[in-house]
Structure formats: C-alpha cells, structure tokens
Amino acid sequence: MERTIIAVFCYKRAAKLKASVEAILQNPEAASMEIIFFSDGYKNAQDKAGVLATRSYIASLNGFKKIIVHEREKNIGSCPNFRLGIDFLTKNYERFIVIEDDLVVSSNYLKYMLDGLDYYQHHAAVFCITGYCFPVSKKGYQYDTIMHHRFCSYGWASWSDRIQQVAWDNEHVICMMKRSANFRQRLNSEGLDLFRTLKKQLAGTISAWDILMQVHVAENKMKIVYPFVSKVSNHGFDQESTNTFGVNYLKTTTDSGSKRSFNFCPPDTLEPSLIQQLKRPYEFAALAGRKLINAMLRLTAF
C-alpha cells in the first residue's frame, strides 16, 4: 500500500473545483503528493455541460506528483460515488486526505493533516482529523487542536484501517438502530439534526455519506480532531449544491497559513467549554432558526 494521497470528490462545479485545487496547490507539500479525483457522471442533459467542464479542467492539471482520475460512466449519486472512492482508497493507501470540490483550504492545510496523521496514528480512539472549525474562543488554551465527538466532512483525513470499519449497508444500519440501546439519544447527543438526517439517508431522500460516518463514531465512542483555527472555508451554499442551501452557517475565520508546526492535544483532552461551542450550531434554537429562514428563502426564490 502507498502512504498518503489527496482525494477529491466532484461533480459539475468546475469553477468551484478550480478554486479548491488552486488552494491545494498553494501548499508546498502538494508537489510531492499524489491526487485522485472521483468524478460522478451527469444525471441529465442539464448537468452534462458542468460535468464535462469539470473533467476538462482535471485533464488540464499539473503541479502534483501524480494525478489519477476515476470517471463514473453514469450518475450514481454522491453517497455511492464516495463509497466506491473510499473502497479504492482503503485498498490502496494507508492514509488519505479528503477534500470536496466546494472547499478552499489554507496553505498550511496539508502540513496540518500530514502531521496530525502522524501524531494520532497509534491512537485507535481517534477516527479522523478534520480541517474545519467554527469560530471558538478560550483564553489560555494551549493546543492547536480540539477533541470532539462529531464527524465533520469539510476537509478531513484518516487511516484506512479505521474507515474500513464503517457500516454502509442500509440493512446493517437499520439493525443497529433497533438493537443498540439508546441509539437515537447517543446519535443526537452531538446535534439534534443527526437522527433526522440518518432517517432521510435511509429513506433515499438525500445522499449524505457523512451521516454514516457519524453513526460509526457515535456507536464506537470515537473522537474527531478539530483545529482550533479552521484550515478550510466552505463555498457550497448556493443553487449548484446538492445538500446545502440557504443560510451559510459555516462561515468561519480561516488560518492565514503561516503556522507550520502544531501543538496537537493528547487524545484524552476534552475541553467542555470548547465542545459546547462546537455543539451550539446544532442545538434546537439554531436549527429552528435556520429552518425558518431557509423556508422563507425558498418562498422568495420563485
């Protein structure tokens, strides 16, 4: 198996992908790393031009050690595309760094991820490292990372031996829901949106692979490493997006990129005040407020 690869999942947003890749290339480590693109096929004639433009852009790329492209012949959806991509990654690489096409990373993002993968490699309770963080504050906090229990898909990295344990099959997850005591409470303890999102995923009304990651994290009491200062900004809240719309609650302060060494917190470091800040956007008041505003935005959009 190879060591570490950058993996990018994309569909039809060529301009966003270009902004994302250009940001990755600002990282000095990019030139010595492989990158792989998992490009889903177009769903209909309306999406065809965007998919072809995305693939044309990928074909024009250079600046990485090696560029690999997996193009789906037909549209399979974001969750199946991700699942197939993850299956390839876990069979061929020890570790991988995942970026979606609507994310713009800081110029020290890859250094942070690579160092974090080294630091937490032998701590089995750590599921992954994410590059995103809401604005948080705590004077005197000495570390550059925060331990939390909610999976965050906005630019993350992990180890193949951990990701291989995730349950993707609907029947397996449904059985888990029925047999695992306090399943709903345990899942929703990290955000009141989670169980509802899982039900939508199982019903096929959304294609959200990240909720299946969170089920695994919650059921196995695993931890996620967050940066104290975000290394990622999300540009996906618009009409091009599949699963995001309306209020962009992910706006945050992004690292300037100048920091090149990081003080990683030990895996057993849990700071209640920081965790509470990370949970706040998923509490009832915040979720209800966003739902109301988004409903109004949909009404005024037509």
Number of domains in the chain: 1
CB burial class (10 A; 0-12, 13-18, 19+) of residue 298?
Answer: exposed
pLDDT score, position 25: 98
pLDDT grade, residue 236 (50/70/90)?
A: low
Closest to 250 (Cα-Cα) out of 139, 129, 131, 128: 131
Which residues 6+ apart lie within 8 Å of 168 measured at CB? Answer: 83, 212
**Which domain does 119 fall in, by range?**
2-300
Residue 129 burial (CB count, 10 A): 27
Q: Please say if the pLDDT value at position 40 is more than 90.
A: yes
CA distance linking residue 247 with residue 249, whole number of Å = 6
pLDDT grade, residue 176 (50/70/90)?
A: very high
Asked if 267 and 123 touch (Cβ cutoff 8 Å), the reply is yes
Closest to 155 (Cα-Cα) out of 137, 133, 135: 133
Rounded mean pLDDT, 63-77: 97
* Of residues 293 and 44, more confidently modeled: 44
- % pLDDT > 90, the chain: 84
Q: Where are the alpha helices (DSSP H) in 134-238?
A: 160-163, 170-179, 183-188, 194-203, 210-219
pLDDT grade, residue 245 (50/70/90)?
A: low
pLDDT score, position 224: 98
pLDDT grade, residue 292 (50/70/90)?
A: confident
Q: Please say if the pLDDT value at position 249 is more than 90.
A: no
Which residues 6+ apart lie within 8 Å of 121 measured at CB? Answer: 159
* Of residues 195 and 301, more confidently modeled: 195
CA distance linking residue 118 with residue 236, whole number of Å = 30
Average pLDDT over all residues of the chain: 93
CA distances from 21 to 63, 102, 107, 215, 257 (A): 10, 10, 11, 30, 16
Q: What backbone torsions phi and psi does residue 270 show, to the nearest 5 degrees?
A: -120, 115
Q: How many residues does the chain have?
A: 302
For 161-175, how does the pLDDT look when each residue is reduced to its tens digit (9 = 90+)?
999 999 999 999 999
Domain containing 101 — which CATH number?
3.90.550.10
